């Protein structure tokens, strides 16, 4: 008898991590990166008020975090003008996506996404036995019409869309998202990943009744609020669906320090506006660096910029490797034709200076 036998679904999956972290790459090379511009973290940092709140909370870390996340949940409800019953906190959007799939997808259910979109969602679908159906991007953006057509053809349980998009930084106006909802076939549920919403134009984020049973939305403190390491995000959706998360979630998954930091960050909207300005300036600087080197920066509504290398995926991969040798951590889309690009996160001036200094030599090395 094999005591180490896996259950059938995980037994059929590869042992893989959706992303190779910069720490792993640093261990392999034996040297730290000079510029950490690959993970779309907020290198400008969290609100000083959030840092103080987390430091103050550290002395109480011997206590479990509030399993109801009461204070933060109610503050988020006030912030969005909705009821607390429409909000669920979790260990980042990644953790909440896994819970959503577990809650709604039975083995064999079809789930529609875009080929090249956020891979962690796919990881969860495969892990719970769902069947992924992928449609191609169109003009470097996810294609809402194609997603809805595919959902109708296969009777999809979930339809995933990130707006703004990762990895391309593109975005759709809110009326296109509304049109998706109006045409969403039963029994589909639109999974709207809004991790970068704070950086998007106002008209990109549609008004959706939180009790609309056709959609669930996800937000995070990882990006604009600069708290990726704290692992805290939230879902907005119908109260009945939100209550379902209590059946399966890790009720102590968000620690006291993260709760305190997120609450303080939410209350410091002046810092959030400061971050938006820093990111806008960094996007412009990355576009200048790309242009100076004969490359093209694509429009972005996120805290990163996709840079078109004007060749193929092999060239972009070689460029990433050449940058890594020079101490620059960046990433790239994994699917053609988007893989002609590299993706560079917005960061402080000194890190962008390092990128600007390394890019010409990296290009020379592979041309």
pLDDT at 18 over 90: no
pLDDT of residue 2: 77
Q: What does the domain layout of the chain look like in residue ranges?
A: 19-45+270-366, 48-267
Q: DSSP state, 331?
A: B
pLDDT at 3 over 90: no
Q: Could you give the C-alpha distances from 198 to 235, 303, 322, in angstroms and in order?
A: 15, 10, 32
CATH 3.40.640.10 is the classification of domain 48-267: yes
Kindly indicate the confidence band of residue 19, based on its pLDDT and cuts at 50, 70 and 90.
Answer: confident
Per-residue pLDDT of 188-232, as tens digits, reads 999 999 999 999 999 999 999 999 999 999 999 999 999 999 999
Select the CATH number that applies to the domain covering 19-45+270-366 from these four: 3.90.1150.10, 3.90.480.10, 3.40.50.800, 3.40.50.10440.
Answer: 3.90.1150.10
> Following CA atoms 302, 146, 88, 301 in sequence, which dihedral angle do they give, to the nearest 10 degrees?
10
Q: Which residues are registered as beta bridge partners of 216?
A: 191
pTM above 0.85, yes or no: yes
Q: How large is the greatest C-alpha to C-alpha distance in the chain, in angstroms? A: 64
pLDDT of residue 23: 96
Whether the CB-CB separation of 341 and 306 falls below 8 Å is answered with yes
Is the torsion defined by CA of 354, 355, 359, 360 positive or negative? negative
* Cα 330 to chain centroid, rounded: 16
Phi, psi angles (nearest 5°) of residue 195: -60, -30
Q: Calculate ∠ Cα 273-276-281, nearest 5°.
A: 130
- Cis peptide bond N-terminal to 12, omega within 30: no
Per-residue pLDDT of 84-126, as tens digits, reads 999 999 999 999 999 999 999 999 999 999 999 999 999 999 9
Q: Could you give the C-alpha distances from 15 to 18, 123, 155, 335, in angstroms and in order?
A: 10, 11, 30, 21
Place of tokens 């959503």: 100
- Tell me which H or E stretch contains 12: none
User: What is the spatial distance between Cα 70 and Cα 76, in angstroms, rounded to a whole number?
Assistant: 10
User: What is the spatial distance between Cα 247 and Cα 47, in angstroms, rounded to a whole number?
Assistant: 33
Per-residue pLDDT of 155-185, as tens digits, reads 999 999 999 999 999 999 999 999 999 999 9
Instruction: Look over the chain and give the mean of its residue pLDDT values, rounded to a whole number.
Output: 97
Q: Which residues are registered as beta bridge partners of 191?
A: 160, 216
Rg (CA), the chain: 21
Whether the CB-CB separation of 115 and 91 falls below 8 Å is answered with no
Strands of 243-351 (E only): list them.
Answer: 296-297, 304-308, 328-329, 341-345
Cα within 13 Å of Cα(86), Cβ side = 23
User: What is the spatial distance between Cα 121 and Cα 304, in angstroms, rounded to a whole number?
Assistant: 20
């Amino acid at each position: 008898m094999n005591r180490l036998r896996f259950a059938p679904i995980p037994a059929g999956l590869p042992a893989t991590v959706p992303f190779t972290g910069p720490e792993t790459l640093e261990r392999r090379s034996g040297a730290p990166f000079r510029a950490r511009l690959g993970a779309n973290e907020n290198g400008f940092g969290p609100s000083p008020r959030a840092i103080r709140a987390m430091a103050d909370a550290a002395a109480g870390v011997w206590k479990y975090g509030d399993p109801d996340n009461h204070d933060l949940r109610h503050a988020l409800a006030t912030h969005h003008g909705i009821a607390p019953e429409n909000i669920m906190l979790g260990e980042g959007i990644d953790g909440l996506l896994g819970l959503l799939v577990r809650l709604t997808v039975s083995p064999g259910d079809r789930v529609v996404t875009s080929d090249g979109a956020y891979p962690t969602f796919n990881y969860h679908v495969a892990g719970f036995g769902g069947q992924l159906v992928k449609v191609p991007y169109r003009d470097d953006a996810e294609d809402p019409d194609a997603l809805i057509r595919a959902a109708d053809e296969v009777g999809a349980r979930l339809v995933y869309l990130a707006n703004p998009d990762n990895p391309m930084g593109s975005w759709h106006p809110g009326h296109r998202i509304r049109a998706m909802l109006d045409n969403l076939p039963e029994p589909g549920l639109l999974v709207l990943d809004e991790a970068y919403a704070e950086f998007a134009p106002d008209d990109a984020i549609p008004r959706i009744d939180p009790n609309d049973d056709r959609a669930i939305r996800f937000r995070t403190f990882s990006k604009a609020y600069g708290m990726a390491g704290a692992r805290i995000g939230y879902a907005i959706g119908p109260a009945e669906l939100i209550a379902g998360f209590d059946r399966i979630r890790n009720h102590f998954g968000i620690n006291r320090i993260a709760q305190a930091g997120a609450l303080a960050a939410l209350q410091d909207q002046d810092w959030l506006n400061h971050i938006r300005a820093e990111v806008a300036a960094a996007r412009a600087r990355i576009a200048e660096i790309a242009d100076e080197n004969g490359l093209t920066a694509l429009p972005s509504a996120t805290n990163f910029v996709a840079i078109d290398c004007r060749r193929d995926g092999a060239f972009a991969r070689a460029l990433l490797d050449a940058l890594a040798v020079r101490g620059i951590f960046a990433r790239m889309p994994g699917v053609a034709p988007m893989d002609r690009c590299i993706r560079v996160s917005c960061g402080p001036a000194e890190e962008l200076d390092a990128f600007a200094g390394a890019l010409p030599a990296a290009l020379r090395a592979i041309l």
